[in-house]
Structure 1
């Protein structure tokens, strides 16, 4: 199921009130909207067909007047004039609380790509780290203080990788893409035109080279990634040849020679046994 199409986890105690969508002034927060990947053309068409045939069955979720779940459905309902319901979840104290809730919501969905899960998990680490840094010194140092819902473990790359259900190496590659890749290259990763591993290599190129690779399509991107890998491999210092003690080498050769002699003796014995079997069978030997 694509982003924005499921109900939030029922873990909030405050009652949620059903309201009719058309009477509301719904606000779209661009930063929150960025957590929701755009639908592919196939997903867009499928959701549109479902809404036109069955209506908007699941309620949109609002925090105050800000939409926090159901962005794709809201856009299509607006486009076609389809009625929808809304529920309010006003238990959040800040926009950061909303972000953490949305991130956890999306991380739990199987349809989210590895790249998007990594991006979301890194965003959660950023929010949690900022909160920890803002704590008063006495509270931060109090080991008995009750941790909030977004507190560590979120302080290592392994924690982030575990939450995103990818490897630590993949998280490192996504970090590199986020820091060095052009928007065009990041979009190519998001849409699956290029793999995370390949994009992390292409992101090491100058911006102009990245843009040229993206413009050239999948094959050009793969070629650029391969060239970066080859350059890195050529730049690595070659391992020096291991120095072997002559005495050890001589002992190894003697051991191998003895093993070969034993093998030869075994084969000769087996050959004689077969010849004797032929004689006993009355066939003789030529």
Structure 2
């Protein structure tokens, strides 16, 4: 059969690096294509790099059909789940994939809610048209209306991607705010997730300028951003200093006054005790 390569599917997951592709090619040349390519009809879903190597060297390969797919969203979710379980996928890529999965589920949930609203409106209209003229209106609800699945929380996303909650938050920030050059630096391993999230808080043009200057400059910019946001615990403003000194002075004066009052009371008590002794 003729296998169709969908370019959108091929690019949906980050491609292998040239080094990874060379390693795969050597492995297939030595051992053959051991894993079957996954198809949806005649469309290639999984195994694009293996298919490329086999075509290049005219090597045999096996295929398998996944009959559970009903839509392209099903295909995307399956691809994401497959790659989330692979060790070769970087932490940043896992975070992006997990967030992408949540977006797909959110879109599916919104679509299901829209369909449910339409069915509810249709059922209500049919109930009104079929009811006697003197009947009391009753709200109509579609029978067996499916409830949309709850969206995974950030904790669930982090667990699935084998990341911490804070890492997922930083990856989400990078995904939404970082310039393409900064994202490329993270994917290449030049910049850490933590540093990229710091750089992503800057205007896009500043991010690009730092990226053009190189990885070292990106790291320096990230360090300066973090230092600007970090406030030392012992750092206080002059106004805070003045307030603290004033409060401390007032407390000290109060202690002196209480000590004097206490001493005066002790003297009075001693005098009273002396008077009582004298009368006895």
Match of 1:55 among 19, 29, 32: 32
The residue correspondences of 1:168-179 to structure 2 (distance < 5 A) are 168-179=165-176
Match of 1:24 in 2: 2
Counterparts of 2:180 and 2:77, CA distance in 1: 24
Counterparts of 1:238 and 1:43, CA distance in 2: 52
Q: Which runs of 4+ in 1 moved over 4 A?
A: 137-142, 144-148, 234-245
Question: CA 1:145–1:205 in structure 2 vs 1: closer, same or farther (change >3 Å)?
Answer: same
The residue correspondences of 1:69-80 to structure 2 (distance < 5 A) are 69-80=46-57
Counterparts of 2:30 and 2:199, CA distance in 1: 44
Structure number with the bigger relative contact order (C-alpha 8 A, sep ≥ 6) is 1
Deviation at 1:205, TM superposition (A): 2.0
Question: CA 1:232–1:139 in structure 2 vs 1: closer, same or farther (change >3 Å)?
Answer: farther
Question: CA 1:167–1:93 in structure 2 vs 1: closer, same or farther (change >3 Å)?
Answer: same
Question: CA 1:146–1:63 in structure 2 vs 1: closer, same or farther (change >3 Å)?
Answer: same
Greater helix content: 2
The residue correspondences of 1:147-166 to structure 2 (distance < 5 A) are 151-154=149-152, 156-166=153-163
Q: State the TM-score, normalized to the length of structure 1.
A: 0.68
CA deviation map 1:154-207 (0-9, x unaligned) = 1x2222212211112111111111111121211111121100110011112222
How many residue pairs match? The answer is 223
Counterparts of 1:195 and 1:85, CA distance in 2: 39
Match of 2:81 in 1: 104
Deviation at 1:118, TM superposition (A): 0.6
The residue correspondences of 1:226-245 to structure 2 (distance < 5 A) are 226-233=223-230, 238=236, 240=240
Question: CA 1:197–1:83 in structure 2 vs 1: closer, same or farther (change >3 Å)?
Answer: same
Deviation at 1:104, TM superposition (A): 1.1
